[in-house]
Amino acid sequence: MSKNPHEFTTGDTTVSKLVTELAAESFSVSQVALTVDPQLLGNHNGIYGVPKPPPSLTSIAYKLATKLRSPVHARFDIPNLSRRIEQSPDQSYVAEHSYMAESALTSGVLQRNLYINTHVSESDVYRNGGKTSGRVMAPLILRDELRVARRAKRIACFDGDEIQRYERAGLRDVQFLPLTLRPAEKAKVAGTEKQLVFVGDQRWPPNRQAIERLAYLWPRIQLQVPGARLKIIGKPDPNGRPWHFPPSVEEAGFVDDLSSELSSSRAMVAPLAVGGGVRVKILEAISVGLPVVSTTTGWGSLAGLFDMTGCDSDDLFIDECVRYLSDPSYAAKVGRELYDANWTLWEERVAARAVESWLA
């Protein structure tokens, strides 16, 4: 893993923990994670921490010049991690993110023993991140993603569009992982205040783009629902420009107890223009029965799992937000349907069986 779940609570660490737990239902599992905190190096609570070195610009530049290796993938070809893999007695290895396969390949892991959980296509993130440098780098990243995928026994994706991309490139044995979260205590949506909530780490460019769209749409929503509020949760981007929201918008930053924040809101909003991977925050909302207003891109393959439709135009997005804010009984009904669907998927072990099939 590229991050130690004992250090970080992010979307990808949440997914990695879930996939590991589901895999452990059928297989013996050990975990290795790149780690920043010196106190978490070595074995700690079931995870072996390997030092995560700072990026070596010299090494990255060399691999870019000699192998056309993208900086993203070159960054995670880490000697200490390769040595740890070489010393491991395990028979098979799972890379959480495509770029984490680099150290496994360097260590000599054979194709029949390597599995990759792609999480999200970094090439999409860079291509759609709004920067020229990202658009230039995206083809190199995609080239690397396809290269490591061809050297794995089987890859798994959370997104149907990403699967189609691999299939067009000639990769046929790609597993779709319909991940859902364990049902939590159900929120009492009908009794909540007129508040929408957005959750996302602002250091990830797609989340900042989504907030920019919310800033544009919010005045029209508030005009139709006097007294409505919007809460934005997630770590701010220290390098991003400050927001200038009206008093009806609260920037809460990182919160320790997300479930209570979700339970006090009428609906979650996720106007994402760049998707990919599993939408963890949407799944967290669904796990407590909170309705979600999102785009087709934001829903991704979750739309099929939960029979939802994206709101892509400004008018559709605003109308759905206004309806939830104005009609708590409607919000509660949609939330209950999502909660029940998630409960059924979890009880029937849909995700667990998919993980087992992928690693079989």
Tens of pLDDT, residue by residue over 110-146, are 888 999 999 988 998 888 777 788 889 999 999 999 9
Claim to verify: residue 168 and residue 200 sit in the same structural domain: no
pTM over 0.85: yes
CA distances to 114, 116, 147 from 111, in Å: 5, 11, 12
The dihedral through the CA atoms of 327, 312, 205, 159 has a sign that is: positive
Residue 261 inside a domain? The answer is yes
Within this chain, do residues 256 and 278 fall inside the same structural domain, yes or no? yes
Strand-pair category, 267-270 with 292-294: parallel
Under 8 Å between Cβ of 230 and 196: yes
The answer to whether residues 141 and 199 belong to one domain is no
Residue 39 class from Cβ within 10 Å (0-12 exposed, 13-18 middle, 19+ buried)? Answer: exposed
Task: At 104, list the tokens.
Answer: 């496994």
- From the CA atom positions of the chain, what is the Rg in Å? 21
| Span 171-211, pLDDT tens digits | 988 999 999 999 999 999 999 999 999 998 888 888 888 99
Q: What is the CATH number of the domain that holds 242?
A: 3.40.50.2000
On whether the CB atoms of residues 266 and 325 are closer than 8 A, the answer is: yes
81 lies in the same domain as 157: yes
Do residue 291 and residue 224 come from a single domain? yes
CA 271 to chain CA centroid, nearest Å: 15
Q: Are residues 309 and 213 in the same domain?
A: yes
Look up residue 332 and give its two tokens. 């509660």
Q: Among residues 144, 176, 208, which one ends one of the domains?
A: 176
Q: pLDDT value at position 132?
A: 85
CB-based burial, 220-230: b 16+ in 10 Å, e otherwise? ebbeebeebbb
Is 35 part of any domain?
no
Question: So what's the pLDDT on residue 275?
Answer: 66
The enclosing H or E element of 95 equals strand 93-96
For residues 311 and 323, give the distance between their C-alpha atoms in angstroms, rounded to a whole number. 13
Reference 144, options 60, 72, 59; nearest CA is 72
Asked whether residue 14 is assigned to any structural domain, the reply reads no
- Domain boundaries, position 114: 53-176
Distance between CA atoms of 298 and 220, rounded to whole angstroms? Answer: 21
**pLDDT truncated to tens, each residue of the chain (360 aa)?**
999 999 988 888 899 999 999 999 999 999 999 999 999 999 998 999 999 999 888 888 888 888 889 999 999 999 999 999 999 988 899 999 999 999 999 999 988 899 999 998 899 888 877 778 888 999 999 999 999 999 999 999 998 889 999 999 999 889 999 999 999 999 999 999 999 999 988 888 888 889 999 999 999 999 999 999 999 999 898 888 889 999 999 999 888 888 889 999 999 999 988 765 458 899 999 999 999 999 999 998 899 999 999 999 999 999 999 999 999 999 999 999 999 999 999 999 999 999 999 999
